[in-house]
């Protein structure tokens, strides 16, 4: 669990000053680890802004302040080591800008956009980034900013702190960005951000905070900065994130991400996850990915080569982070890390070129051509040649601590530094003495003794307990018995370890001096490494899409202005094994579909299947169906009846909150999925609200699917020419329930009462079932007439 979990589980996070709240410092977690973490202190509560105060900016003051602590959306876990600076424009139009920074990958994203009165873009941006903490200008935090009210209302668990207004300086931000971004990015961003002064202001505040408050320093010209175009991606509403569990953030193996994730690298998996959370709305991007996947599938040899070899590529982004945040080496540990960085990049560049060489066909797809271009960029070979001018070419990549130490010691070619050569000879001799000493103990005790290595101690000896017996020789010290193995040392061995430690310190410092220039050249060419990283990420994701077609029969989706899926299959049910009943979907004649059917009939599954196929299609993946035509949606809204219940508050309030969010934000190009609306209040009221919401949505061009148990609702809505009806399992009789389940039938159908039948099968006592049937008959429900009751209620 994240050490900061407690901060995020607070029901409503207070506003606090960033300087009070955070010491964003870095702790190197281990010698060879690139991991760093933001240290976050517990917020001080004295800077709290009064909740009521915030609530009063809404016209329906009372309702809002009551609702504020119980949002419609429960807490989403934050991405570790991330920070977002958010600001808003002062003009009448709500202009929002943010700057988001991920310390693990040193990737900074900027965006600026105009938002509507409900601030859906802003909420979506915060949710998509899931920052550990959000920093805003103090007046925004303390005043009556409508954006803040919306954020606190929908995301009450978010940790928000304030920064001095003066830090949000766009001119300084512009200069800073030109200095810290890679030169190519700086040039591109100067063009994109020409009129986006708030994005510059957010960037300035972010970097000022990182470098001055958190005392992090970044190599100039080395930070990966990109601009996020809000318009290019589908907005997935907060309800969908939690109800669908799209990205498997809790390691769930029933998320869309885990089912279609066949990536081999960290970069590929990150790209896939972010693609699922932000599917593209750009048809060119989607088509480009589709043709690249098809080409990979057509070239089996390359497909198998890539599947087998991509895994060898380490996490390039964290390696870059370590390099550009590398302090001037002053300690042996830092010097050791610096050597490892250079060795890492040698390995990365070599592997990237090997991957490109393994693509044996001439790709027609522009995306594949670009990807290969990224891997074979002539600057990668120049960089490699530079590294090999100092580092031994034959050095392979090692992972074990012992081998890493030895590799660092032998990294630099002989003859580069005389002192280094002497120290290395000492290192080899003392290591040989360790081997001989352990052999000697083995001979003396007549027990097979093995050498083990621990980075913090050095060499130790170990033997099987049963072979060593109870009488451990007196000269063995630091004896530890763990299950069947005994580990120990001797004074002689400890002395050798000490000698090794001091000679390694010397070697690391000398080696670091020898490779210092090489590290500088790598840093100056960091843009090449970003390009390699992006190319590997994309290639890995495309190979993963191709892989998915080999485990699930899929088709290339086409796009038009309506959905037409023939025999689509639910990808997660399919991955779980067992039989999946394929179902077709069409919105060609009506954009509003009301889905009904018995309990356990497969209604929610039908909705989920559509959502998953839409997302898969918009990320460029093939979809599990016989044929599929989809529409590009700009927003996805989901309210599932079995969604997350982890937040407090009334079920009805949450439901209404979620539906209000949809009604305020949907557009003609949105996909709206609502499962059993109105279920959590009195039937008459629930039905009335549900129908009113449907009438509103029916008058729009949004694509809507709504499931319901209100038997009178489908016929009532059916009078609209824009409304289609689908019934799950409608044609089956009670006796054939098992055989015909889950089949979606289009058109008006009589719906027998399976609820009572199902209750009977679940073991409710006979007399209860008898009474239930009698009550149903009394209120007018019989097996075959339920459709005839307008409104479905007495």
Enumerate binding residues for ligand ATP (CB under 6 A).
Answer: 570, 573, 580-581, 583, 597, 599-605, 641, 728, 742
Q: How far is the CB of 551 from ligand ATP (least distance, A)?
A: 18
Which is nearer to ligand ATP, 305 or 606 (by Cβ)? 606
Of all residues in this chain, which one has the CB nearest to ligand ATP in the complex?
A: 602
Question: Is the Cβ of residue 602 or residue 686 nearer to ligand ATP in the bound state?
Answer: 602
- Write down the least CB distance from residue 606 to ligand ATP, Å: 7
Q: Whose Cβ is closer to ligand ATP: residue 173's or residue 597's?
A: 597
> Whose Cβ is closer to ligand ATP: residue 151's or residue 581's?
581
Query: Nearest CA to 111 among 122, 127, 123?
Result: 122
Q: How far apart are CA 275 and CA 279, in angstroms?
A: 5
In the complex with ligand ATP, which residue's Cβ is closer, 602 or 624? 602
Angle separating helix axes 183-192 and 526-551, nearest 10 degrees: 80
Q: How far is the CB of 596 from ligand ATP (least distance, A)?
A: 9
Q: What would the two tokens of residue 624 be?
A: 């599990």
What one-character DSSP code corresponds to residue 255? S
Q: Minimal distance in Å, beta carbon 263 to ligand ATP?
A: 27
Shortest Å, Cβ 664 to ligand ATP: 26
Among residues 621, 690, 740, which one has the least CA distance to residue 280? 621
Q: Measured from the CB of residue 580, what is the shortest distance to ligand ATP in angstroms?
A: 4
Distance between start and end Cα atoms, the chain: 51
Question: Shortest gap between Cβ of 607 and ligand ATP (angstroms)?
Answer: 8
Nearer to ligand ATP, 161 or 728 (CB): 728
Judged by beta carbon, residue 407 or residue 605, the one nearer ligand ATP is: 605
Distance CA 422, CA 420 (A): 5
- Rounded least distance, CB 68 to ligand ATP, Å: 30
- Residue 704 phi, psi dihedral angles, 5° rounding: -125, 135
Strand (E) positions, 676-784?
703-707, 723-728, 744-746
SS3 assignment for 128-195: HHCCCEEEEEHHHHHCCCHHHHHHHHHCCCCCEEEECHHHCCHHHHHHHHHHHECHHHHHHHHHHCCC
Q: Give me the least distance between CB of 673 and ligand ATP, in Å please.
A: 12
Rounded CA-CA distance 150/130 in Å is: 16
User: Mind giving me the DSSP string for 401-441?
Assistant: HHHHHHHHHT-BPTTS-HHHHHHHHHHHHHHHHHHHHHHHH
Burial grade of 783 (CB within 10 A; 0-12, 13-18, 19 or more): middle
Using the minimum distance from each CB to ligand ATP, give the nearer residue, 277 or 640: 640
Q: What are the contacts of 469-472 at 24+ separation with CB within 8 A? A: none
Cα–Cα distance measured from residue 424 to residue 484, given in angstroms and rounded to the nearest whole number: 37
Based on CB atoms, which residue is closest to ligand ATP, 447 or 759?
A: 759
Long-range (24+ apart) CB contacts under 8 A made by 365-372 are 365/288, 365/291, 365/292, 365/295, 366/288, 367/288, 367/289, 367/291, 367/292, 367/538, 367/542, 368/292, 368/295, 368/296, 368/539, 368/542, 370/535, 371/292, 371/535, 371/538, 371/539, 371/542, 372/535
Closest distance between ligand ATP and the C-beta of residue 354, in Å?
Answer: 43
Which CB, 13 or 580, lies closer to ligand ATP? 580
Q: Which is nearer to ligand ATP, 39 or 758 (CB)?
A: 758
278 or 609: CB nearest ligand ATP:
609
CB of 602 to ligand ATP, least distance (A): 3
**Measured at the alpha carbon of residue 764, what is the angle toward residues 763 and 765, in degrees to the nearest 5?**
110
Q: Between the CA of residue 507 and those of 193, 327, 428, what are the distances in Å?
A: 47, 18, 12
- Gap between the Cα atoms of 618 and 623, Å rounded: 10
**Secondary structure letter of residue 220 according to DSSP:** T
CB of 599 to ligand ATP, least distance (A): 3
Cβ 570 to ligand ATP shortest distance, Å: 6
Q: Which of 92, 762 has the CB closer to ligand ATP? A: 762
Q: How far apart are CA 158 and CA 14, in angstroms?
A: 9
Reduced to 3 states (helix: H, G, I; strand: E, B; else coil), residue 539 is helix
**Contact in structure between 516 and 412 (CB atoms under 8 Å):** no
CA pair distance 8, 12, nearest whole angstrom: 9
Nearer to ligand ATP, 112 or 584 (CB): 584
Could you tell me the smallest distance in angstroms from the CB atom of residue 748 to ligand ATP?
A: 18
Least separation in angstroms between CB 741 and ligand ATP: 7
Q: Which is nearer to ligand ATP, 244 or 536 (CB)?
A: 244
Beta carbon nearer to ligand ATP, 421 or 567: 567
Element housing 595 (H / E):
strand 592-596
Nearer to ligand ATP, 242 or 641 (CB): 641
Q: Least Å distance between CB 674 and ligand ATP?
A: 12
Q: How many CB atoms lie within 10 A of CB 631?
A: 18
Task: Find the largest Cα–Cα distance for the chain.
Answer: 101
CB of 705 to ligand ATP, least distance (A): 12
């Amino acid at each position: 669990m994240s050490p900061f979990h407690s901060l995020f589980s607070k029901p409503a996070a207070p506003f606090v000053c960033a300087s009070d709240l955070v010491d964003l410092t870095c702790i190197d977690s281990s010698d060879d680890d690139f991991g760093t973490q933001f240290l976050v202190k517990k917020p001080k509560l004295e800077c709290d802004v009064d909740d009521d105060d915030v609530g009063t900016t809404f016209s329906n003051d009372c309702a809002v302040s009551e609702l504020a602590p119980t949002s419609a959306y429960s807490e989403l876990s934050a991405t570790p080591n991330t920070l977002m600076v958010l600001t808003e424009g002062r003009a009448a139009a709500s202009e929002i800008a943010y700057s988001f920074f991920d310390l693990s990958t040193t990737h900074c994203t900027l965006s600026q956009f105009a938002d509507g009165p409900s601030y859906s873009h802003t909420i979506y941006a915060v949710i998509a980034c899931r920052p550990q903490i959000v920093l805003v200008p103090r007046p925004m935090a303390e005043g009556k900013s409508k954006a803040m009210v919306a954020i606190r209302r929908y995301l009450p668990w978010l940790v928000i702190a304030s920064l001095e207004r003066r830090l949000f300086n766009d001119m300084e931000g512009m200069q800073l960005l030109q200095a810290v971004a890679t030169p190519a990015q700086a040039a591109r961003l100067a063009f994109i951000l020409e009129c986006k002064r708030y994005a510059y202001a957010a960037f300035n505040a972010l970097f000022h905070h990182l470098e001055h408050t958190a005392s992090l320093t970044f190599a100039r010209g080395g930070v990966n900065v990109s601009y996020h175009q809000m318009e290019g991606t589908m907005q997935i509403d907060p309800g969908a994130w939690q109800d669908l569990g799209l990205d498997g953030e809790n390691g769930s193996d029933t998320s869309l991400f885990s089912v279609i994730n066949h990536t081999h690298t960290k970069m590929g998996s990150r790209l896939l996850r972010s693609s699922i959370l932000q599917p593209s709305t750009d048809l060119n991007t989607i088509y480009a990915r589709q043709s690249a996947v098809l080409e990979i599938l057509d070239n089996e040899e390359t497909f198998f080569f890539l599947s087998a070899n991509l895994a060898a590529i380490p996490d390039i982004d964290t390696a870059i982070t370590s390099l550009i945040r590398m302090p001037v080496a002053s300690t042996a540990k830092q010097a050791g890390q610096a050597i490892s960085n250079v060795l890492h990049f040698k390995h990365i560049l070599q592997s990237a070129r090997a991957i490109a060489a393994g693509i044996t066909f001439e790709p027609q797809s522009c995306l594949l051509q670009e990807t290969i271009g990224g891997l074979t960029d002539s600057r990668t070979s120049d960089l490699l040649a530079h590294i090999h001018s100092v580092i031994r070419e034959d050095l392979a990549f090692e992972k074990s601590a012992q081998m890493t130490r030895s590799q660092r010691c032998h990294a630099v070619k002989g003859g580069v530094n005389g002192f280094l050569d002497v120290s290395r000879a000492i290192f080899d001799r003392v290591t040989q003495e360790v081997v001989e000493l352990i052999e000697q103990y083995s001979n003396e005790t007549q027990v097979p003794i093995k050498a083990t290595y621990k980075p913090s101690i050095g060499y130790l000896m170990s033997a099987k307990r049963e072979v060593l017996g109870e009488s451990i020789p007196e000269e063995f010290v630091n004896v530890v018995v763990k299950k069947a193995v005994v580990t120990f040392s001797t004074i002689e061995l400890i002395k050798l370890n000490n000698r090794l430690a001091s000679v390694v310190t010397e070697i690391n410092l000398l080696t670091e001096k020898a490779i210092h220039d090489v590290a500088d050249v790598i840093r100056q060419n960091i843009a090449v490494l970003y390009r390699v990283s992006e190319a590997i990420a994309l290639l890995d994701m495309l190979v993963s899409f191709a892989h998915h077609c080999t485990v699930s029969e899929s088709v290339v989706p086409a796009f038009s202005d309506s959905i037409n899926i023939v025999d689509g299959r639910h990808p997660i049910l399919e991955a779980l094994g067992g039989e999946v009943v394929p179902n077709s979907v069409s919105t060609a004649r009506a954009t509003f579909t009301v889905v009904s059917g018995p309990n356990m009939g497969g209604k929610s599954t039908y909705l989920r299947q559509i959502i998953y196929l839409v997302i898969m299609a918009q990320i460029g993946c093939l979809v599990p169906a016989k044929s599929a035509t989809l529409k590009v949606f700009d927003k996805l809204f989901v309210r599932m009846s079995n969604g997350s219940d982890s937040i407090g508050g009334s079920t009805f309030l949450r439901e209404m909150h979620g539906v209000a969010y949809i009604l305020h934000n949907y557009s003609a190009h949105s996909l709206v999925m609502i499962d059993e609306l109105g279920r959590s209040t009195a039937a008459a009221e629930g039905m009335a609200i549900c129908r009113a919401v449907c009438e509103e949505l029916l008058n729009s061009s949004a694509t809507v699917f709504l499931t319901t148990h209100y038997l009178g609702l489908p016929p009532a809505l059916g009078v609209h020419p824009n409304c289609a009806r689908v019934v799950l399992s409608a044609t089956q009789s009670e006796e054939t329930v098992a055989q015909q389940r889950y089949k979606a039938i289009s058109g008006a159908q009589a719906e027998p009462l399976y609820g009572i039948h199902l209750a009977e099968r679940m073991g409710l006592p006979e007399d209860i079932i008898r009474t239930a049937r009698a009550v149903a008959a009394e209120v007018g429900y019989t097996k075959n007439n339920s459709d005839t009751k307008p409104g479905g209620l007495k």
